[in-house]
């Protein structure tokens, strides 16, 4: 009789260990997914809140004496944007502009964050712009900030 009790006890302990293992794995997995979903929702909500608009006039682009183009971008969303090249992705005429190819500043002061209604000045190096200044060559600038895309087309 004693051997029956012992074997029952062993099966009981084994079943508890297996059940605890399953429950533990399940909760760990669910917790991991929950954290990822929460992180994802933070990103998505920031992307939805980010909204930009190009202020610059396509008919008369602002190009200085050393042929650098300045584009002004207004934050029209409800999410602040850090005024730094890392916040902005740019493609001009199909070529990606690296962070070293442009500078970005606050157009009305020297703040480091563009809040709603603030304007940033982006100055792009002349080597990325097509044309010789006679106003016949079309250029297409594609700006992406936090998944919000804007297109600026102009002739130079």
Partner 1 sequence: MGFSVSASTAVIFAGLFLALGIFYPAMANSYERVQAADADQADRALEQANTDIRLDDITVTGNQLEVTLTNNGSTSLTVSDTDLLVNGTYIQRSELDTTVTDVDGNDDSATDLWLPGETLAITYDTTETVDRVRIVTEHGVSVSEEV
Give contact residues for partner 1 (rule: CB under 8 A): 8, 11-12, 15-16, 18-20, 22-24, 26-27, 29-31, 33-35, 37-38, 40-42, 44-46, 48-49, 51, 53-57, 59-62, 70, 72, 74, 76-78, 107-108, 117, 119, 121
Minimum distance of partner 1 from residue 62's CB (angstroms): 5
Nearer to partner 1, 91 or 119 (CB): 119
Q: How far apart are CA 124 and CA 14, in angstroms?
A: 68
Q: How far apart are CA 20 and CA 18, in angstroms?
A: 5
Q: How far apart are CA 116 and CA 42, in angstroms?
A: 19
Nearer to partner 1, 76 or 103 (CB): 76
Please report, to the nearest 10 degrees, the dihedral formed by the alpha carbons of residues 23, 28, 33, 38 taken in order.
120
Q: How far apart are CA 89 and CA 40, in angstroms?
A: 21
Q: How far apart are CA 145 and CA 90, in angstroms?
A: 9
Nearer to partner 1, 98 or 147 (CB): 147
Distant-in-sequence, close-in-space partners of 14: CB < 8 Å, separation ≥ 6: none
Nearer to partner 1, 96 or 147 (CB): 147
Strand, coil or helix: 97: strand
Nearer to partner 1, 84 or 105 (CB): 105
Q: How far apart are CA 143 and CA 138, in angstroms?
A: 16
Minimum distance of partner 1 from residue 116's CB (angstroms): 9
């Amino acid at each position: 009789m004693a051997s029956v009790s012992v074997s029952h006890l062993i099966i009981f302990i084994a079943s508890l260990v297996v059940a605890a293992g399953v429950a533990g794995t399940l909760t760990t997995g669910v917790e991991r997914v929950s954290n990822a979903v929460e992180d994802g929702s933070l990103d998505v909500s920031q992307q939805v809140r980010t909204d930009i608009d190009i202020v610059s006039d396509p008919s008369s682009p602002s190009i200085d004496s050393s042929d650098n183009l300045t584009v002004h971008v207004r934050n029209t969303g409800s999410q602040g944007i850090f005024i730094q090249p890392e916040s902005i992705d740019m493609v001009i005429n199909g070529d990606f502009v690296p962070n070293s190819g442009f500078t970005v500043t606050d157009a009305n002061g020297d703040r480091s964050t563009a809040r709603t209604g603030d304007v940033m000045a982006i100055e792009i190096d002349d080597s990325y712009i097509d044309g010789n200044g006679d106003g016949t060559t079309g250029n297409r600038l594609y700006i992406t900030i936090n998944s919000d895309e804007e297109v600026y087309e102009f002739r130079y």
